[in-house]
Amino acid sequence: MKWLPESASTFAPGVDLILWLVTIISVISCVLIAFLLIYFVIKYRRKTENDQTPAITHDSFLETLWTVIPTILCIVIFIYGYVYYDQYTVTPKNAVEVNVTAKQWLWSFDYSNGKKTLNELYVPVDQPIRLVMQSDDVLHSFFVPAFRVKQDVMGNRYTYINFTATKEGVYDLYCTEYCGTAHSDMLGKVHVLSKAKFASWQDGSADKVKKASAASIPPAELGKQLYSNKGCLACHSIDGANGVGPSWKGLFAKNRVFTDGASAIADENYIKESILYPGEKMVEGYGPVMPSYKGLLDDDEITAIIEYIKTLK
């Protein structure tokens, strides 16, 4: 049975080695103890009320044995744990930095060339990466099981993760420090691309290809994809349930009352403004928590989202 996730970073084999090592030690000890328990219970079961038992109170040899052996095993396991941890915490010289900002409930990534992505981290294969992470609000934790890396992210202080992906593919990214309502929806993907693909993603040519394919699907369909890819789903439901933000169900053309008492009809322009400048017109009953999507969504994508909202009656 599969009990470990895919191994896709230089750190993963070391962690897996420790997991295997401790598993083997554990299984042997457990089987030994279970066997002795059952064997003793059967062999020395009470036969008569007057069974004679020896008054054994201690045995120096045995006690030394089961003090020394666990001690040695513990030292060995510690050393393995330490050695691989040490490798993981030291940043390779040629590491490429990516800035990560966590906030309730999304991840945003800033690359050195000025690109910015939401919930989707793009990295080249076989290239050491150093994530420089900070939180805008509460604690979060960056966890990619396939890379076996995890680090808490907090406000007012940078924390770091080093990893080198070894396999192309798309891997899950979880938030593992409890952060409130949509903690379990604070998900992302790590795209490990070949060097060539990464280069074309970096200079934007990949975007154009993607756009072209995006153009071929209906806007409402595209909007639906963006809803889950760009993290909207963490706060806005599509079934009318009240979340951190207002539900999108029946939102379009609805009258919105703002915290300053003013009101407006939720038309295309209002929705676009809310996506780009979410703090401008706060609907009553909600807090100013949404980040601006300026620069993260282009006009076509915003239009697609508006079209999608229109379909949610």
Residue ranges in 100-159 that form contacts with another protein under rule CB under 8 A: 135, 137-139, 141, 143, 145-146, 148-152, 154-157, 159
Looking only at the bridges linking them, the beta strands covering 188-193 and 149-153 are unpaired
What is the Cα 51 distance to its own chain's centre? 60
Binding residue for another protein (CB under 8 A) from 102, 182, 222, 232? 182
Min. distance of Cβ 194 from another protein in angstroms? Answer: 24
Under the binding rule (CB under 8 A), the answer on residue 51 touching another protein is: yes
Binding residue for another protein (CB under 8 A) from 4, 96, 170, 199? 4
Under the binding rule (CB under 8 A), the answer on residue 201 touching another protein is: no
| Residue whose C-alpha is closest to residue 306's, from 256, 237, 252, 244 | 252
Under the binding rule (CB under 8 A), the answer on residue 277 touching another protein is: no
Under the binding rule (CB under 8 A), the answer on residue 58 touching another protein is: yes
Name the strands in the sheet holding 188-193, side by side, starting at the edge strand that comes first in the sequence: 120-124, 188-193, 169-175, 140-144, 149-153
Min. distance of Cβ 71 from another protein in angstroms? Answer: 5
Measured distance CA(74)–CA(109) in Å, rounded: 40
Q: For residues 215-274, which are near another protein according to CB under 8 A?
A: 241
Under the binding rule (CB under 8 A), the answer on residue 45 touching another protein is: yes
Min. distance of Cβ 111 from another protein in angstroms? Answer: 20
Binding residue for another protein (CB under 8 A) from 98, 175, 271, 290? 175
Token digits of residue 41: 């219970």
3-class secondary structure, 257: strand
Largest CA distance in the chain: 92
Under the binding rule (CB under 8 A), the answer on residue 70 touching another protein is: yes
Whether 181 contacts 48, CB under 8 Å: no
